[in-house]
A and B are shown apart, each in its own frame.
Chain A
Amino acid sequence: MRVHVDAQKCQGHSRCYALAPELFDIDDYGNAHELNDGVVPAGLEDRARLAQANCPEFAIIIHE
């Protein structure tokens, strides 16, 4: 599984960083980006889905 943050849609709500800091980080302006080229380590798939389901801007994309 891979995750990706659409930078055009992200508005810095920081939900993904709060729920899955292993998968996402944020810059000084609060904008999120995926870590590790978006590769989701085994066992963290549910965290990725949780982050996606909590993004108010629908900015997180998951490739299974």
Chain B
Amino acid sequence: MTSIYGPVTDWEHDFDHADPEYNANIHQIWDDLLNKKQCPVAHTERYGGTWLPLTHEHVREIAYDTEHFTSRSVVVGTTKPSQFDPQPPPSPIGNAPPISSDPPFHAEARRLLLPAFSPKKIDPWASEIRRICHQLIDDMGDVQFIDAAQQYSQDIPVQVIARMLGFPVQDADKFRHFVHLVLESVNEDRETRLAKFMVFDEYLTHQINDHIANPRDDLTTYLLNAEIMGNKLSPEHVGGTIILLLVAGIDTTWSGIGSSLWHLATNAVDRRRLAENPAMIPTAVEEFLRAYAPVTMARLVRDDYDFHGYAMKEEDWVLLPFPAANRDPDVFQDPDTVVIDREENRHAAFGLGIHRCLGSNLARLEMNVAIEVFLERFPDFELDQSEEVTWSVGQVRGPRKLPVRITARS
């Protein structure tokens, strides 16, 4: 991947969250900023001006403050929304509602989707997710070395969301490439990205038209029939929401499962405890979510704003690193230690405030089932030291290559 900005040498004044070194060394970088440089809010001129607050208090304050910070764009890019879209969708809606929406429209767009993702609607998917996980392990064959990111973690959320949307499951690769384009290639040049977007846009239009012609019991048909205040959703709204569900549902959960398996592959004591006590998995998953929260959100500064002495300018980006908030010693005891039976754990992996991850119940279920099935089939495994672990680049963090050696199977 080529960055137009070049490598980072000063994380305090010139950081780049899409530099490959950032996700690979994230905990060291935060620790240096907070404790060595006494820098709770880092800044960079990259991306046209970007801020990185690191404490739970600051992250929480910005997440709650929809007056000074807008969600119009939540993925930091090299071009500001006002530059690439001189006539953007009306500001409260944005291009992928409700994640890109502000109050008061946000609540309407979100209310539409919430029932489909409530625990009581999501829980029945457990058996299908379990079947998918077993199938993926069956497909690996009787091998000793696997890539737990590529051959397991990445396929689970793709297959689940494709089924929920009523899209062909065999198109999983198309979704993955699209998600990569949105989240990981943020510092590639704009023309290349746009051309790739158009290809996916055509695919999406085809799927939506197919659902208009052949309505069925899935989320896409549900969105096409849905109304807000008596009006059907515009095609842009339906398409934008589907893009949101694909982007938000795939990379994030893949990363959550992958980071959990990375932890288990590198921690023999925790691995054996969970393999012997599967009932501990739900509590352990919360701790993996805290310690390895995959998602950093972003906001745009609405107007020039003095944030605790930091002079933020109109349309500056502000990253919301919930994973950093989750390691704040003012909120969590011994935050850099992963304690798989941690009882008090008010982590913010799914965000805080009105944009709380809509799919959190689904993500939790997928993580729980994925880890349970993996440990059931592979009660012991370890990192394959002869290969390298690689981490994603950008606002979603998780292992993209996770070479594992299976040492016990059942």
- Known pairs A11-B353, A29-B114, A30-B361; A56 contacts B119 (CB<8 A): no
- Residues of chain B in range 122-180 having any CB-CB distance to chain A below 8 Å: none
- Known pairs A11-B356, A13-B356, A14-B360; A58 contacts B118 (CB<8 A): no
Indicate if the CB atoms of B282 and A18 lie closer than 8 Å.
yes
- Interface status of B390 (Cβ within 8 A of chain A): no
Distance between Cα atoms of A58 and B60 in the complex (Å):
11
Neighbouring A residues of B115 by C-beta, 8 Å: 28-29
Indicate if the CB atoms of A56 and B343 lie closer than 8 Å.
no
Indicate if the CB atoms of A56 and B350 lie closer than 8 Å.
yes
Neighbouring B residues of A12 by C-beta, 8 Å: 114, 118, 356
- Interface status of B346 (Cβ within 8 A of chain A): yes
- Report the minimal beta-carbon distance from B235 to chain A, rounded to whole angstroms: 25
Indicate if the CB atoms of A17 and B119 lie closer than 8 Å.
yes
- Interface status of A7 (Cβ within 8 A of chain B): no
- Residues of chain A in range 36-54 having any CB-CB distance to chain B below 8 Å: 50, 53-54
- Known pairs A26-B119, A30-B119, A30-B361; A57 contacts B343 (CB<8 A): no
Number of residues of chain A lying within 8 A (CB) of chain B:
19
Of A14, A55, A57, which is within 8 A of B119 by CB? A14
Indicate if the CB atoms of A13 and B345 lie closer than 8 Å.
no
Q: Is the interface of B mostly helix, strand, loop or mixed?
A: helix
- Known pairs A11-B356, A14-B360, A14-B361; A28 contacts B346 (CB<8 A): no
- Residues of chain B in range 337-391 having any CB-CB distance to chain A below 8 Å: 343-348, 350, 352-354, 356, 360-361
Indicate if the CB atoms of B360 and A28 lie closer than 8 Å.
no
Distance between Cα atoms of A36 and B111 in the complex (Å):
26
Residue of A with least CB distance to B286: A54
- Interface status of B305 (Cβ within 8 A of chain A): no
Residue of B with least CB distance to A57: B352
- Known pairs A11-B356, A13-B356; A56 contacts B118 (CB<8 A): no
Distance between Cα atoms of A27 and B114 in the complex (Å):
10
- Interface status of B310 (Cβ within 8 A of chain A): no
Neighbouring B residues of A55 by C-beta, 8 Å: 346
Of A26, A27, A29, A56, which is within 8 A of B346 by CB? A56
Residue of A with least CB distance to B114: A29
Indicate if the CB atoms of A11 and B354 lie closer than 8 Å.
yes
Indicate if the CB atoms of A54 and B345 lie closer than 8 Å.
yes
Neighbouring A residues of B348 by C-beta, 8 Å: 56
Indicate if the CB atoms of B361 and A58 lie closer than 8 Å.
no
- Known pairs A17-B119, A18-B282; A56 contacts B361 (CB<8 A): no
Distance between Cα atoms of A30 and B119 in the complex (Å):
7
Neighbouring A residues of B356 by C-beta, 8 Å: 11-13, 56
Of A17, A30, A58, which is within 8 A of B114 by CB? A30
Indicate if the CB atoms of A53 and B352 lie closer than 8 Å.
no
- Known pairs A17-B119, A54-B346, A56-B346; A28 contacts B114 (CB<8 A): yes
Distance between Cα atoms of A40 and B119 in the complex (Å):
23
Q: Can you list the 6 inter-chain pairs with the closest CB atoms, starting with the nearest?
A: A53-B344, A11-B356, A29-B114, A30-B118, A28-B115, A56-B346
Q: Hey, which bits of chain A sit against chain B, CB under 8 A?
A: 11-15, 17-18, 26-30, 50, 53-58
25 residue pairs of the A-B complex, CB under 8 angstroms, read A11-B354, A12-B118, A12-B356, A13-B356, A13-B360, A14-B119, A26-B118, A26-B120, A28-B114, A28-B115, A29-B111, A30-B114, A30-B117, A30-B119, A30-B361, A50-B343, A53-B344, A53-B345, A54-B344, A54-B345, A55-B346, A56-B347, A56-B348, A56-B352, A56-B356
